[in-house]
Amino acid sequence: MHKKASWTLPMLLFLFSLSAACSGDGPAGGPSGANTSGPEEASGYPLTITDAVGREVTFDSRPKRIVSMAPSVTETLFAVGAANRVVGVTTADDYPPEVEAVERVGDYRGPNVEKVLSLNTDLMILSFDGATEGYAEDMAEKTRTKVVVLNPKTVDAAISSVGLVAKLVGEREKGRVVEERLRDELGRIGEKVAGEPKPTVFYEVWGDPLQTAGPGSFIDDAIRLAGGTNVAADTGDAYPEYSKETLLQRDPDYYLAGRSSGVTVEEISGRPGYPALGAVKDGRVTIVNDDLVVRPGPRIVEGVREIAEAIHPKAFD
Partner 1 sequence: MDETGGKGEGGGKPVASGFSGVLLALLAGLFASVTLATIVGPVWISPLTVWKVALHEATGFLRPDWSAAEGQIVWQIRFPRVLLAAVVGAGLSVVGTALQAAVRNPLADPFVLGGSSGASVGAVLVIAGGVQFFGIYSLSVAAFVGASVAFVLVLALARSPGGHTSPLRLILAGVAASYALSAVTSFLVLRADDPEEVRSVLFWTLGSLGGARWEYLTLPSAALIGGTALLLAQSRSLNALLAGEETAVTLGVETDGFRRRLLILCGLLTGTMVAVSGTIGFVGLMVPHTVRLVVGADHRRVLPAAALSGAILLVWADVVARTAISPEEMPVGVVTSLAGAPFFLWLMRRKRGAFGGEGG
Q: Which residues bind partner 1 (CB under 8 A)?
A: 91-92, 107-109, 205-206, 208-211, 214, 232, 234-237, 239-249, 251, 258, 260-262, 267, 270-276, 294
In the complex, minimum distance from the CB of residue 308 to partner 1, in angstroms, rounded to a whole number: 23
Calculate the CA dihedral of residues 170, 172, 178, 179 and round it to 10 degrees.
120
Separation CA 100–CA 78 (nearest Å): 12
Task: Give 58 or 260: the residue with its C-beta nearer to partner 1.
Answer: 260
Tell me the sheet residues that pair with 106: 90, 111
In the complex, minimum distance from the CB of residue 209 to partner 1, in angstroms, rounded to a whole number: 4
Between CA 198 and CA 126, with CA 189 as vertex, the angle to 5 degrees is 105
Task: Give 187 or 275: the residue with its C-beta nearer to partner 1.
Answer: 275
* 183 CB burial (10 A radius; 0-12, 13-18, 19+): middle
In the complex, minimum distance from the CB of residue 57 to partner 1, in angstroms, rounded to a whole number: 26
Task: Give 34 or 276: the residue with its C-beta nearer to partner 1.
Answer: 276
In the complex, minimum distance from the CB of residue 1 to partner 1, in angstroms, rounded to a whole number: 8
In the complex, minimum distance from the CB of residue 208 to partner 1, in angstroms, rounded to a whole number: 4
In the complex, minimum distance from the CB of residue 242 to partner 1, in angstroms, rounded to a whole number: 6
- CA 239, 138, 298, 188 torsion-angle sign: positive
Tell me the sheet residues that pair with 111: 106
* Cα separation of the two ends of the chain: 40
Separation CA 223–CA 314 (nearest Å): 17
The rounded Cα 28 to chain-centroid distance in angstroms is: 30
Task: Give 31 or 272: the residue with its C-beta nearer to partner 1.
Answer: 272
Task: Give 118 or 249: the residue with its C-beta nearer to partner 1.
Answer: 249
Task: Give 87 or 293: the residue with its C-beta nearer to partner 1.
Answer: 293
Which DSSP symbol is given to 270? T
